[in-house]
Amino acid sequence: MKRPATRTKLPLSVVILAAGQGKRMNSDLPKVLQPLAGRPLLAYVIATARTLEPAAVHVVYGHGGERVLEALRTEPVSWVQQAQQLGTGHALLQVAPKLRDDELVLVLYGDVPLITRETLVKLLELASPKDLGLLTVRLEDPTGYGRVLRDRRGRVRRVVEQKDASQRELAIHECNTGVLAAPAKHLKKWLKRLTNHNAQREYYLTDVISMAVKDKIAVRPLLAAATDEVLGVNDKIQLAVVEAAYRRRRAEELMAAGATVIDPRRLDVRGSVEVGRDALLDVNVVLEGRVRLGDRVRIGPGCVIRDAVIGNDTEVFAHCVVDNAVIGASCRIGPFARIRPASILAANVHIGNFVELKNAQLGVGSKANHLTYLGDTVVGTDVNVGAGTITCNYDGANKWTTHIEDGVFIGSGSMLVAPVRIEARATIGAGSTITQNAPRDQLTVGRARQVSIEGWQRPKKRER
C-alpha cells in the first residue's frame, strides 16, 4: 500500500549526516555501519527517509567512506563526501549545491536510527517557506546535548551547545535533537554565514536557529513523544541501549498484531515478521529476515527462525534452527532440530530431537523423530524414518537425491546411499546399508554377516 505523501508545501529533500568518525566506539567499523538488529545504523535512517517519498536523499559521508559506500551501494541515495569533519554545519554545507531554492530540507543523522515516519511527518507539517521545524526532546539527564533556549513567551530563540552553555543554561532540560526541517533558500544562506567561534572550533548547524529568528523565520518546535526516537549512538553502551529500545518496539508491534510474547526484553526481531492470531514466542527467540508465522504457532525458547514460513498450529520446541524453509500446518519440530535451506514440510510432519534436514521435502504425516540426517531427499506421505538414519547424499564431488515413497518404514541405524529409491510401502531392516533401489511392499535388509571371533583379545597399552 502506498503511503500518503506529507502535506509539506515544498518539494522535499532529505539530508542524512553520516560522516562522524565514532572514536568512542573503539571499533574498526565506521560508526554508521555499527549493527542494530543485524543491519547498519545508517540503513534504518535511509529506510525511514524513503517512506516520506522525497525528491532526493543525500547522505554526507566521511570517515571510512569507502566501506560505507560499499556496504550500502544498493541504496538509491546521492552520496556527498565531507573530506574534513569540521562540524554539522560544515557537513550540510557540502550538500548545499545540490539543494534547490524551492525545496524543503529535512536534516537527519546516520547514528539516530529509531526516528519514526510519524514524527517526521508532524515535523514537516510545521515547516514552510517562512517556518523552520525543530525537533526537541525533554531529558531527565541532558548532559551532552545542546539546550533549547526560549523567551518568556515560550518562543525558541536559539540553541546553545553543552560546552558553550552557562550554568543557568545547563539547568535546562529541553534539548536539541539536531533534526530540523527548513526552507532550502534560507538554509543555504545561513550555512554560508556560520562561524567556528565556539569551544569546539566547529561550524554548528544549531547556529542557524538564531539566524532564523533574526531573519523573522519562525522556529516551530515539536517535542518528541518518545526519547528513544532521538537517541544517538556514539559508543557501544549507547548502541546496546538503542538495541534494547528497538527490541521493545518490535515486540510491541507483534503483540499488537495478536502474538503472545513471553518476555519482550528477550525477543530479537531482525527483519520483517508477520504473525497470526495467538502465535506464541517464548524467551530468547531470534527472528531474522522475512518470517511468516501462522495462527497459533508456538515457538519455544532459544529458537532461531530465519527467512521461513510456518503454518497454523505448528509447534517448534526449544533450541531449534529453521533457516530458509517452509513448514506446513500442525507440525511438531524439535527440540534441538535444524531445518536447513530449501526444506519443505507438508502438514502433520514430525521432526524430533537432533534431526537435521537439508533440501528435504517431507509429505503429509511423515516422521523423523530421532538423531537423523535427511539431505537432498524427497519423502512421501506417512513415512517413518527410524532413529540414526542417514541419507548419504555426497560422494565427495556431487550431491545425489534419495527418493522415499509413500508409506515406507525405515528401520533405525540405516544408511541410504544416494542415488537410491525406496519404493512405496517398502520396509528397510534396522542397521541396513542400502545402495540399490528397494522394491515396494517388501522387506529389504542390507547387513554384513555377523561374525564372532573366538579367542580374540583387545590390544593393551605397552608398558613403559
One domain, residues 212 and 321: no
One domain, residues 49 and 138: yes
Distances (CA, A) of 64 to 22, 41, 58, 124, 169: 10, 14, 17, 31, 36
- Per-residue pLDDT for 3 more than 70? no
What domain count does the chain have? 2
Nearest alpha carbon to residue 156 among 198, 230, 226, 218: 218
Give the structural domain span for 108. Answer: 12-230
> Strand, coil or helix: what is 45?
helix
Whole-angstrom distance, CA of residue 304 vs CA of residue 89: 44
Please report where in the chains the cell 560422494 appears, as a residue: 395
Q: Give percent above pLDDT 70 in the chain.
A: 98
One domain, residues 221 and 268: no
Whole-angstrom distance, CA of residue 26 vs CA of residue 351: 44
DSSP annotation of 97 = G
Cβ distance 104 to 220 under 8 Å? no
One domain, residues 177 and 295: no
Residue type at position 237: I
Q: Which of 213, 230, 247 is the last residue of a domain?
A: 230
Q: Which of 163, 195, 230 is the last residue of a domain?
A: 230
One domain, residues 209 and 254: no
DSSP string, 229-250: GG----SHHHHHHHHHHHHHHH
In a domain, 1, yes or no: no
C-alpha atoms less than 13 angstroms from C-alpha of 193 in its C-beta half-sphere: 14
One domain, residues 246 and 219: no
Whole-angstrom distance, CA of residue 131 vs CA of residue 138: 22
In a domain, 457, yes or no: no
Residue 170, Cα to own-chain centre: how many angstroms?
Answer: 37
CATH number, residue 313: 2.160.10.10
Which is more confident, 460 or 430?
430
In degrees, rounded to 5, the angle at the alpha carbon of residue 115 between the alpha carbons of residues 114 and 119 is 145
Write the CB contacts of 315 (distance below 8 Å, at least 6 apart in sequence).
Answer: 297, 298, 300, 331, 332, 333
Three-state SS sequence of 119-176:
HHHHHHHHCECCEEEEEEEECCCCCCCCEEEECCCCCEEEEECHHHCCHHHHCCCEEE
Q: Render pLDDT for 366-408 as a digit per residue (tens, 0 to 9).
A: 999 999 999 999 999 999 999 999 999 999 999 999 999 999 9
Q: Render pLDDT for 100-143 as a digit per residue (tens, 0 to 9).
A: 999 999 999 999 999 999 999 999 999 999 999 999 999 999 99
Lowest mean pLDDT among 42-56, 110-124, 223-237, 449-463: 449-463
In a domain, 453, yes or no: no
C-alpha atoms less than 13 angstroms from C-alpha of 286 in its C-beta half-sphere: 14
One domain, residues 165 and 265: no
One domain, residues 86 and 208: yes
C-alpha cell at 270: 531482525
Q: Give percent above pLDDT 90 in the chain.
A: 89
- Mean pLDDT value of segment 50-55: 97
Whole-angstrom distance, CA of residue 69 vs CA of residue 72: 5
In a domain, 5, yes or no: no
CATH number, residue 130: 3.90.550.10
Whole-angstrom distance, CA of residue 36 vs CA of residue 90: 27
One domain, residues 359 and 324: yes
Task: Specify the length of the chain in residues.
Answer: 464
Write the CB contacts of 236 (distance below 8 Å, at least 6 apart in sequence).
Answer: 25, 26, 27
One domain, residues 248 and 304: yes
In a domain, 122, yes or no: yes
Q: Identify the pLDDT of residue 9.
A: 67
In a domain, 349, yes or no: yes
Q: Which of 207, 230, 253 is the last residue of a domain?
A: 230
- Per-residue pLDDT for 8 more than 60? no
One domain, residues 191 and 77: yes
Catalytic residues: 370
DSSP annotation of 335 = S
Q: Render pLDDT for 228-251 as a digit per residue (tens, 0 to 9).
A: 999 999 999 999 999 999 999 999
In a domain, 151, yes or no: yes
One domain, residues 147 and 60: yes
